[in-house]
């Protein structure tokens, strides 16, 4: 008998073993799959924690878009920065002062709002020199009689890692900085 030859008995044992295994799998597989995809009915309370073990506040995902399409079942809406956006600082175009606002490291800036009829706000950071055409300015926002507002939105927030200064100049403008941070 050659090494690669199998007896008739071994062949039939292997064949019937494969049939028996297929029957066992076909009987056991549906309940296992059903258990894996069964929807949980009722209210489920889940404790969601951040990477440091702190609790994350969340709410059901609301309807979205112009046609109020429902979010997927079980999806939750979490906020990256607890407490919502608050006023971090303000500056005004004025000869009386108050035209500089500084954000400190650790703040998270989400919105820059500039309103008025004549003003300019330059954003600068000592850590970054800015563009040669605008020495010391990383960003410049302007308002005029024709364009009375400028809005810069950073939806996910811009983490401030070094002090950033907002300097307002002109005759009529107000600057509001929104975000998350602890004010002294």
Instruction: With beta carbons less than 8 A apart as the criterion, state whether 165 and 130 touch.
Output: no
pLDDT in the model for residue 75: 60
- Residue 66 is assigned to a structural domain of this protein: no
Domain assignment present for 123 = yes
Residue 144 lies in a domain: yes
What total number of domains does the chain contain? 1
Report the 10 Å Cβ neighbour count for 161.
Answer: 11
pLDDT tens across 34-93, in order?
555 556 566 666 666 666 666 666 666 666 555 666 666 666 555 555 434 678 888 998
Where residue 114 sits, what CATH number does that domain have? 2.60.120.1540
**Which three-class secondary structure state does DSSP give residue 79?**
coil
To the question of pTM greater than 0.75 for the whole model, the response is: no
| 91 φψ region: left (φ > 0), alpha (ψ -120 to 50), beta (else) | beta
Q: How many CA atoms lie within 13 A of 45 on its CB side?
A: 0
pLDDT at residue 35, as a whole number: 58
């Amino acid at each position: 008998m050659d090494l690669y030859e199998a007896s008739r008995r071994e062949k039939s044992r292997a064949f019937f073993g494969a049939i028996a295994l297929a029957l066992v799998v076909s009987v056991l597989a549906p309940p296992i799959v059903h258990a894996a995809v069964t929807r949980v009915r009722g209210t489920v309370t889940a404790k969601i924690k951040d990477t440091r073990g702190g609790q994350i506040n969340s709410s059901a995902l609301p309807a979205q878009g112009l046609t109020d399409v429902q979010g997927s079942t079980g999806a939750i809406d979490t906020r990256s920065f607890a407490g919502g956006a608050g006023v971090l600082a303000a500056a005004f175009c004025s000869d009386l002062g108050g035209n500089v606002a500084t954000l400190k490291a650790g703040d998270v800036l989400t919105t820059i709002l500039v309103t008025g009829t004549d003003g300019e706000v330059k954003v600068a950071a000592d850590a970054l020199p800015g563009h040669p055409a605008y020495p010391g300015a990383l960003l410049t926002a302007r308002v005029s009689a024709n364009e009375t507002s400028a809005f810069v939105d950073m939806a996910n927030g811009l983490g401030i890692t070094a002090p950033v200064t907002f300097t307002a100049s002109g005759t009529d403008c107000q600057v509001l900085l929104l975000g998350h941070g602890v004010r002294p």
